[in-house]
């Protein structure tokens, strides 16, 4: 079933709830057996304490808000039938989701690198926008630029993360045009449907980034 057609169950449960993280080595995967107390992690062999979801409540709520907005009926008729006011909500929630995912990734990476708390606080203060975190802080912590990291993941994944990254920029530009210029015409049905369809690739991207850059550090500690 096309994900845009899902109405009768929370989209967050379908797309995000299945990702679990090991309490010990911090690998993230969809091994639902991790929810069983005592289940040995296939990677580190340590017994599971509980099922620990990787994505937090912020991400789950944003996904469900996107779903609700997408399927809601417009409260006001527009002259242009291709434009619906609630489309803006979907785009805004989608952009917020990718910003929250990057922020949490950065925080987890800082923790895994065991940098002093004051240093972490200063780094986050000096990079308090999404663009700074992506273009400055991410490279300084991983040793690779955002696009380089994306290209490397592209080579070993079935998901085309390069295309996803381009779409993220397109959606962000459309969101910003609306917020700063009041331009709603760049937000159409096709873009909104692609936001819904790209939730899962976006979640997978940050899981793969976690396993690429955070899991090895956590395993060594």
| Contacts of 98 by beta carbon, 8 Å cutoff, 6+ apart | 168, 202
Distance of CA 179 to the CA centre of its chain: 22
Quick one: pLDDT at residue 78? 54
Quick one: pLDDT at residue 185? 72
Look at the pTM and tell me if it is higher than 0.85.
Answer: yes
CA angle 218, 61, 205 (to 5 degrees): 45
Q: What are phi and psi of 77, to 5 degrees?
A: -70, 140
Q: Residue 81 pLDDT > 60, yes or no?
A: no
Q: Residue 112 pLDDT > 90, yes or no?
A: yes
pLDDT in tens, 9-20: 999 999 999 999
Quick one: pLDDT at residue 127? 94
Q: Residue 120 pLDDT > 70, yes or no?
A: yes
CA–CA distance, 104 with 64 (Å, rounded to integer): 19
Quick one: pLDDT at residue 179? 79
Quick one: pLDDT at residue 73? 74
Choice between 149 and 75, residue whose per-residue pLDDT is larger: 149
CA–CA distance, 174 with 91 (Å, rounded to integer): 8
Mean pLDDT confidence for 95-118 = 95
Mean pLDDT confidence for 23-28 = 94
pLDDT in tens, 123-182: 999 999 999 999 999 999 999 999 999 999 998 888 999 999 999 999 999 999 887 776
CA–CA distance, 54 with 29 (Å, rounded to integer): 9
Q: Residue 7 pLDDT > 80, yes or no?
A: yes
Q: Residue 75 pLDDT > 80, yes or no?
A: no
């Amino acid at each position: 079933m096309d994900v845009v057609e899902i109405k009768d169950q929370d989209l967050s449960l379908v797309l995000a709830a299945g990702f679990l993280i090991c309490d010990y080595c911090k690998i993230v995967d969809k091994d639902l057996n991790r929810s069983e107390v005592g289940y040995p992690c296939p990677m580190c062999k340590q017994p599971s304490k509980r099922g620990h979801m990787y994505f937090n409540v912020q991400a789950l709520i944003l996904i469900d808000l996107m779903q609700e907005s997408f399927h809601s009926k417009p409260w006001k008729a527009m002259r242009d039938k291709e434009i619906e006011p609630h489309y803006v909500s979907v785009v805004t929630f989608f952009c917020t989701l990718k910003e929250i995912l990057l922020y949490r990734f950065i925080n987890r990476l800082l923790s895994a690198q065991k940098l002093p708390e004051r240093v972490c606080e200063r780094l986050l203060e000096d990079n308090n926008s999404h663009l700074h975190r992506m273009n400055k802080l991410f490279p300084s912590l991983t040793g690779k630029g955002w696009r380089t990291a994306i290209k490397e993941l592209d080579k070993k994944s079935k998901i085309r993360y390069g295309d996803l990254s381009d779409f993220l920029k397109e959606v962000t530009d459309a969101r910003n045009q609306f917020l700063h210029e009041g331009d709603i015409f760049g937000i159409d049905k096709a873009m909104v449907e692609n936001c819904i369809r790209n939730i899962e690739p976006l979640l997978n991207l940050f899981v793969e980034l976690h396993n690429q850059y955070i899991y090895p550090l956590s395993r060594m500690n």
